[in-house]
């Protein structure tokens, strides 16, 4: 996720900004840059790769001055290189800005600006803001920013300077985080608290559509829709370590709680006017009809998302789709031909097993569509088409928010295919998209169960093994729940179809064995209830995760966690949450290294 640090005051801006960017490195980035107004002139330096590359360049050519902006970029539009890195400038190069977020209507704005004679150097959505500021400049940077943000759709945190208004720094936000830090020698604007802690613990949280104007003498004002707003100063008590996790104890739980936000971000670029719009990232009706077969391949959590995506795509196209674990598929893909489509799913975009399947498919002339979270990754570069998850960097090894956005992206792809082939009509797609738009609220509601899940985790923590059961899509969700638990608690967790347990594994059920059963699929509900009764009769500690209309389950299972309702097909998006929290709480109780579990790596680049 991009990191912003800006400063205006009495001291050297470069030093403070670079220090702040270093403290935001944990957020993940692929390039960095800085701009400063120095003696009335705008200077900037950018660099691809690590912050050290930028520091090396600045050592040769320092940017002096007391008013500046800095940025670490996590690519969302355009490959991660120096040109696309921030700050971005207007054509005349006298306004510079850094941006965190996604501008939804950037292509329309860009076309209008090109018609007005503006030229563009980068592939980013951000560059349009720089030229819009130029176009609407009214002699005052702050009021110009107020005007320009009213033209933007999407999300942003912005910090802006200009040699036309050399003593002023302007910062604004909508949905993306932005704070001011009030220090003795000046005022900071930043994405996150760690960037400031070395200089101040007094911060102001900027809210949506607020515009902060910071002058060189340390004075500042905050306006919203033209009206000045009074803001409270908060004193931060956190340590540096907990600040980088937004006050959460671990990145994993922070990322679990980010899911409502990233689901919104994931929809932002794939939906227009309540309708799925994947643009160039999808295929035409003729192309879809031309595929002899659709294959999907991935590893770990991404494979679990693929298995669910497979069901959604099959429903949309009315034909069988095959989902294969990449480390096996690469040895056995006899039927994949130049007429096939391969859908690859990977958070990191670098998993070698997955990449090997992709390369083999490309060698055979097949088309490859990737769903990945990392712009510029190998899988991104080598695929024919790419849908980005827009989950932001995932730091915890155990994948949580990436899984949810992989699922949502696959569901949207299925809707797109289904609409193009005539399986779904416009009204149906619109209804589902609206349902997706309401999901973040439902996910939020799930967090209310955290205390009761922690109580369950206390019982589970001293067990050696357990089961995760489900029927239909619930079985596929259960596989992800079991993997999460194994990864971070080191308790052996076996996922099984509920109906298969009786064919052997039930021999392992004895007094106290924990069994999580998922019951989110309405038509399979009765059958799963019978399974719970069967295992309870043999002494199991039964935990049911069920959709909310099934509260009667309380008389059947020992523990019941209720999840909000959506269409059965999309329930996996909600069913995964309590399982993620259960794995997390169990790992914490056991005192494990939650974010860096033993033997695991975030990106596995060996076969």
Catalytic residues, by residue number, are 2, 602
How do beta strands 168-174 and 156-162 pair? antiparallel
192 contacts 3 by C-beta, under 8 angstroms: yes
Shortest distance, position 391 Cβ to ligand G6P, whole Å: 11
Identify the CA nearest to 164 among candidates 186, 136, 190, 189.
Answer: 136
60 contacts 96 by C-beta, under 8 angstroms: no
Shortest distance, position 532 Cβ to ligand G6P, whole Å: 29
Shortest distance, position 581 Cβ to ligand G6P, whole Å: 17
Q: Which is nearer to ligand G6P, 84 or 405 (CB)?
A: 405
Q: Which is nearer to ligand G6P, 145 or 345 (CB)?
A: 345
Identify the CA nearest to 17 among candidates 41, 49, 45, 40.
Answer: 45
Q: Which is nearer to ligand G6P, 256 or 299 (CB)?
A: 299
DSSP string computed for 15-51: HHHHHHHHHTGGG--SEEEEEEEETTEEEEEEEES-H
Q: Which is nearer to ligand G6P, 41 or 600 (CB)?
A: 600
Query: What are the beta bridge partners of residue 386?
Result: 370
Q: Is residue 229 within a helix (H) or strand (E), and if so which, with residue range?
A: none
Shortest distance, position 103 Cβ to ligand G6P, whole Å: 27
Shortest distance, position 601 Cβ to ligand G6P, whole Å: 6
DSSP string computed for 406-421: HHHHHHHHHHHHHHHT
Shortest distance, position 409 Cβ to ligand G6P, whole Å: 12
Q: Nearest to ligand G6P by Cβ — which residue?
A: 300
Measure the CA–CA gap between 368 and 235, rounded to whole angstroms: 51
Helix%, strand%, coil% for the chain, nearest 5: 40, 25, 35
Q: Which is nearer to ligand G6P, 200 or 306 (CB)?
A: 306
Rg over alpha carbons for the chain, rounded to the nearest Å, is 25
Query: For the purposes of burial, counting CB atoms within 10 Å of the CB of 127, is it exposed (0-12), middle (13-18) or buried (19 or more)?
Result: buried
Which 3 state secondary structure label does DSSP give 99?
strand
Measure the CA–CA gap between 489 and 130, rounded to whole angstroms: 48
Shortest distance, position 256 Cβ to ligand G6P, whole Å: 14
Q: CA angle at residue 304 from 302 to 308, to 5 degrees?
A: 115
Identify the CA nearest to 408 among candidates 525, 276, 552.
Answer: 276
Task: Give the DSSP letter of residue 117.
Answer: T
Binding region for ligand G6P (CB under 6 A): 299-302, 346-348, 351, 354, 397, 399, 600, 603-604
Q: Which is nearer to ligand G6P, 214 or 326 (CB)?
A: 326
Give 382's contacts (C-beta < 8 A, 6+ positions apart).
355, 358, 359, 362, 368
488 contacts 592 by C-beta, under 8 angstroms: yes
Shortest distance, position 300 Cβ to ligand G6P, whole Å: 3
Task: Give the DSSP letter of residue 187.
Answer: E
Q: Which is nearer to ligand G6P, 22 or 380 (CB)?
A: 380
Measure the CA–CA gap between 299 and 306, rounded to whole angstroms: 9
Q: Which is nearer to ligand G6P, 170 or 302 (CB)?
A: 302
355 contacts 378 by C-beta, under 8 angstroms: yes
Shortest distance, position 481 Cβ to ligand G6P, whole Å: 14
Q: Which is nearer to ligand G6P, 192 or 255 (CB)?
A: 255
């Amino acid at each position: 996720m991009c990191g912003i640090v800006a400063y205006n005051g009495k001291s050297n801006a470069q030093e403070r900004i670079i220090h702040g960017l270093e403290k935001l490195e944990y957020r993940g980035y692929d390039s960095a840059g800085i701009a400063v107004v120095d003696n009335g002139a705008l200077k900037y330096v950018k660099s691809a790769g690590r912050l050290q590359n930028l520091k090396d360049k600045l050592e040769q050519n320092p940017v002096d001055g007391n008013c500046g902006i800095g940025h670490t970029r996590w690519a969302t539009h355009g490959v991660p290189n120096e040109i696309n890195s921030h700050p971005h400038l207007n054509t005349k190069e006298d306004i510079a800005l850094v941006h965190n977020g996604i501008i939804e209507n950037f292509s329309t704005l860009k076309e209008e600006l090109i018609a007005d004679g503006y030229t563009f150097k980068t592939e980013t959505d951000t560059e349009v803001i720089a030229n819009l500021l130029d176009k609407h400049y009214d002699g005052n940077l702050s009021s110009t920013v107020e005007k320009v943000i009213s033209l933007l759709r999407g999300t942003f945190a912005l910090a802006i300077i200009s040699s036309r208004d050399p003593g002023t720094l302007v910062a604004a936000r909508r949905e993306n985080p932005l704070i001011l830090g009030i220090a003795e020698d000046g005022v900071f604007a930043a994405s996150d608290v760690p960037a400031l802690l070395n200089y101040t613990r007094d911060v102001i949280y900027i809210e949506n559509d607020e515009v902060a104007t910071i002058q060189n003498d340390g004075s500042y004002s905050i306006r919203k829709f033209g009206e000045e707003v009074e803001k409270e100063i908060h004193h931060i008590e956190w340590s540096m370590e907990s600040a980088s996790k937004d006050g959460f104890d671990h990145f994993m739980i922070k990322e679990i709680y980010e899911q409502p936000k990233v689901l919104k971000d994931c929809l932002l670029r794939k939906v227009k006017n309540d309708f799925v719009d994947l643009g160039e990232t999808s295929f035409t009706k003729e192309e879809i009809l031309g595929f002899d077969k659709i294959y999907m391949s991935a590893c770990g959590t991404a494979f679990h998302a693929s298995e669910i995506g497979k069901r959604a795509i099959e429903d949309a196209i009315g034909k069988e789709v095959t989902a294969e674990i990449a480390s096996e598929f690469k040895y056995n893909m006899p039927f994949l031909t130049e007429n096939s489509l391969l859908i690859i799913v990977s958070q990191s975009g670098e998993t070698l097993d997955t990449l090997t399947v992709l390369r083999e498919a490309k060698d055979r002339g097949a088309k490859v569509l990737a769903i990945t979270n990392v712009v510029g990754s190998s899988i991104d570069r080598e695929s024919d088409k790419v849908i980005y998850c827009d989950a932001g960097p995932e730091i915890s090894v155990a994948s949580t928010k990436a899984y949810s956005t992989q699922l949502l992206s696959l569901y949207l792809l299925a809707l797109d295919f289904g609409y193009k082939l005539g399986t779904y009509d416009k009204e149906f797609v619109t209804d589902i998209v609206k349902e997706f738009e309401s999901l973040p609220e439902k996910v939020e509601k799930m967090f209310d169960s955290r205390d009761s899940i922690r109580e369950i985790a206390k019982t589970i923590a001293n067990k050696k093994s357990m089961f995760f059961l489900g029927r239909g899509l619930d079985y596929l969700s259960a596989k992800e729940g079991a993997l999460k638990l194994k990864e971070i608690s080191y308790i052996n967790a076996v996922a099984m179809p509920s109906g298969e347990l009786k064919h052997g594994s039930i021999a392992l059920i004895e007094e106290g064995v924990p069994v999580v059963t998922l019951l989110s699929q309405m038509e399979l509900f009765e059958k799963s209830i019978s399974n719970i009764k069967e295992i309870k009769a043999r002494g199991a500690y039964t935990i049911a995760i069920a959709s909310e209309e099934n509260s009667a389950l309380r008389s059947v299972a020992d523990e019941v966690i209720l999840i909000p309702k959506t269409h059965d097909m999309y329930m996996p998006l909600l069913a995964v949450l309590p399982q993620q929290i259960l794995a997390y709480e169990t790992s914490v109780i056991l005192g494990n290294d939650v974010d860096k579990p033993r033997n695991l790596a975030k990106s596995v680049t060996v076969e």
